[in-house]
Structure 1
Amino acid sequence: MTRGYSLERDFRLLINNPKYSDIEILCEDEKKFHGCKAILAARSEVFDRLLYNGMKESHEKQISFPKISSAGIEFILEYIYTGSIKEESLTKDNMIETFYAANYFQLVELENFITKTFKIILKKNCTENCSPELLSKFAEKIPLIEDNIFLNLLVEMVAVIPLNNIEFGRLSISGLQYLLSCTYDKDKPFATPEYEVFRYGAILLQSKFLDGNQLDGITVHLDMNKRTCAFTVNGKKYSKVLDWNNLPSKLYPVVSFNHPARLRIEPHQKCVCSKYVWDELECGSNALIEDNGKIVCLQSKTKSWRNVRVKMMLEGKSIFEWDVIIEKACVDTFVGVCAPENLSYEFWAGRQPTGWVLSTNGHCFNHEKGSSYCPPFGDGARITVHLDMNKRTCAFTVNGTKYPEVSAWNNLPPKLYPVVSFNHPAQLRIQSHQKSI
């Protein structure tokens, strides 16, 4: 590479390059970066004070930042050496860490750039507002100052979302506290009535209490149809008790205990989401979505199968269940899940590495690899998808018969969307799975 034509390109060669460095930078996760003291000090007053203060730090060959992640330091070095960072490299997963680092090193222009980039991301992808997660990270990482432009923007974005529309786990207790402090008795729009604020906060505190005290939880799975019983202990499900082959036709829940044991019983609540609706922005051409997002079909027959996914992303360690009713089937209709990225909506999901689907012919497919799973089904079939994001497994119930987890699907990613693949004249309805308790 010829040098001397581009200052930015030449200085990019210096980033984390041990050949031209005289200082090691140690991060929160113990990852090390190499830097040049003179350049760091010239671009940041904080580095200047740390590296040229006449104290022992000025003579040491390593400097530590125990509260700054390697992702944040990596962006800081790129900005210090080249004067810019790539907009597309900022994501909701690293944005707060990078902003925290920029704030720590007093790089105001970089802070402004991150805020501007966040606005662009929201504009491009308005259906997936990540403001609750970012506000939570902000509240736990960065000192909360009212004149912080990025923080104020996050507060404004979260305040106009009804709390009932924010899934638990997306907004932390500290994030909610700061949100309320910024909107209470102030001239700022706020979308949630007082009772719903109280309810949301109470559930958050309850979940925090349970997590903090590490209470043991035992879920009993009693199948009276097969007369079998199994248990889930602290989130890990075990197989049915083989020795219990004499269960009668009528049973009662029971416990045995002694002082000082204290037991609570309650119905087992799996994660039931009421927002399973088809996404008009994430679907193949010719798709038609009706009945407030619950029904999808194609306007006419197409050469290849089309895909349509649901608006809400499924992540975390919850169990998600939903029903797809095939009101009308085509030659082959497919129900399953897909990854957030790299899925083409213009041809069959089961052919793609980012699609995992069950066909009406009873086979499961991923990346064109199929395996027999259940008997064929067609018009009027009700398929329940059981997605366990803790174990990264997927199983199906077809017309009331539950089948085991798809053993071949051992590559499910940490974030997924419900998806269907179909052609004309298929018509599919989606809804939350309502399990009788």
Structure 2
Amino acid sequence: MTRGYSLEQDLRLLINNPKYSDIEILCEDEKKLYGCRAILAARSEVFDRLLYNGMKETYENQISFPKIKSTGMEIILEYTYTGSVKEESLTKDNTVEAFYAADYFQLSDLQDFITKTVKNTNLSKKYSPELLTKVSEKMPSTEDNILLNLLVEAVAIIPLNNIEFGRLSIAGLKYLLSITHEKKISFATREYEVFRYSAILAAKQVSNDAYESLMQRLPTLDQIENTIIKAENKFITDRQKVAKEMEPLAKYIDFKLIKGQVLVNFIEPLEIIPVEMILGVYRNIALLNSMNFNDIRGIDYIWDETACGSQLIIEDNGKIVRPTDHLIVYQSVRSKMLLENKGIFEWDVIIEKGCNYAFVGVCASENFNYESCARDQSTGWVLGSSEWNNLPSKLYPVVSICHLGRFRIQPHQKNYV
């Protein structure tokens, strides 16, 4: 393209171009890049303080960034010169480095662009475990790290058994478990499988023999529930080393969500979890005096404001739904509780104020219209419906109400004699 027609295209000619540069940028991987100090200083206060501080950096033609890799710095240069970054410039290999560098140089708009690109492209869908691993290696865990939170949510909805060992590191798994621990975040993996994946991953860090040993000793939950499998009392190779690798993960595994029989038969005999932690679970089971508990973290017994008819009002921290005074037809709302995988799911819907008819049931996760009644839709199934066949794999509790109705959702309350 002829110069002079596009400022952005002309400025791209300057990126990492020794001909038009007056400073060398030395990165962590010792790769040398080239920049124009005036442009860099004008676009970033951090560069300005580094390059025009009256000290040696002001006069020398080289500056070093020992914690920033060249792959991240290349994105910084592209953004500082042109004010934008092409989506294709971001890959699974440089995205985290670029986000870290953008944070270092206080380029918040670039951080936002990177986060949106990860969310809206295949980067999150295909590579979220790898990206979470890179974040865990590069950046501290903070509540305001938008990229970290995005990747945790993306990985949390993938069953851990579907993530090949090697894609998610011990540190990455720790990030995932620590951030979702006892928090209301959608999570796809039952807690025993969380333990199983953690233990096998820990063993894989120790040795191939330890990995093979744990693979033999820890069947999947489907294998335990659907077949007659007995625990084998075989010796675990490098047991103490595996236990050491498990330390940062074990405190973020909620063993109370694992059935006592599984704890006794498959987990406790491994001797890789501290005894006091296992005893604490047994005490909790004894106090509850019941095995009827939910074993998936992140269940929300509240109504979902994002999946709600336009004339419905949600109150009391999401527990109550009622219509506006102007609603004359039936509208629907689903709960945030996702019913997925095998198991028994129980909840109570309390009709605190009745309307002409009350419709309570389940709905599909897609192709459901909340502006109308669940009973009248092919993706809704309510009590009294004649056909409950071929239900999809993902369902949500749903209710449909009209004028004067007031429904409360809560965990199922059992009456004990």
* Higher normalized helix content (fraction of residues): 2
- TM-score when normalising by structure 2: 0.48
- TM-score when normalising by structure 1: 0.46
* Higher normalized strand content (fraction of residues): 1
